[in-house]
């Protein structure tokens, strides 16, 4: 079956760095997405990885290892506004997104 695993909740301190891990199992693979979702709002796109390695975009970076079925989202210089849920989603061979349950990130001052 298809499955995405990510931690339910994480806590970090303002100004620090946090890494949110995601493991996936899908029928075929066409890339790994990370989305940010604030409470009561729709998800917004953060990153996409289809090749192994690290993609950096400002304070956010995303890493992929296809052989390990593993990805992480790295958030640097955390700000209070980064408090949100972070959704990991893998695209299968039919180009459908398989979603994780999301990781709620709590930022403390």
Partner 1 sequence: GAVVSQHPSWVICKSGTSVKIECRSLDFQATTMFWYRQFPKQSLMLMATSNEGSKATYEQGVEKDKFLINHASLTLSTLTVTSAHPEDSSFYICSAPLAGVSYNEQFFGPGTRLTVL
Report in angstroms how near the CB of residue 43 gets to partner 1 at its nearest. 5
85: tokens are: 């849920």
2 binds partner 1 (CB under 8 A): no
24 binds partner 1 (CB under 8 A): no
Single residue of 24, 33, 34, 63 touching partner 1 by CB under 8 A: 33
Report in angstroms how near the CB of residue 97 gets to partner 1 at its nearest. 7
> Mask of contacts with partner 1, 58-87, x by CB under 8 A?
-----------------------------x
44 binds partner 1 (CB under 8 A): yes
Q: Which stretch binds partner 1 (CB under 8 A): 20-28, 54-62, 69-77, 90-98?
A: 90-98
Residues 1 and 25 sit within 8 Å (Cβ to Cβ): yes
């Amino acid at each position: 079956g298809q499955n995405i695993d990510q931690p339910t909740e994480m806590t970090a301190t303002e100004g620090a760095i946090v890494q949110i891990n995601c493991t996936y199992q899908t029928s075929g693979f066409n890339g790994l997405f990370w989305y940010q979702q604030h409470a009561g709002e729709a998800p917004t796109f953060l990153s996409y990885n289809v090749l192994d390695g690290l993609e950096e975009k400002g304070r956010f970076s995303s890493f992929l290892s296809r052989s390990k079925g593993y990805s992480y989202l790295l958030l640097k210089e955390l700000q209070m506004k980064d408090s949100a849920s972070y959704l990991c989603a893998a695209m299968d061979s039919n180009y459908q997104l398989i979603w994780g349950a999301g990781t709620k990130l709590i930022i403390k001052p």
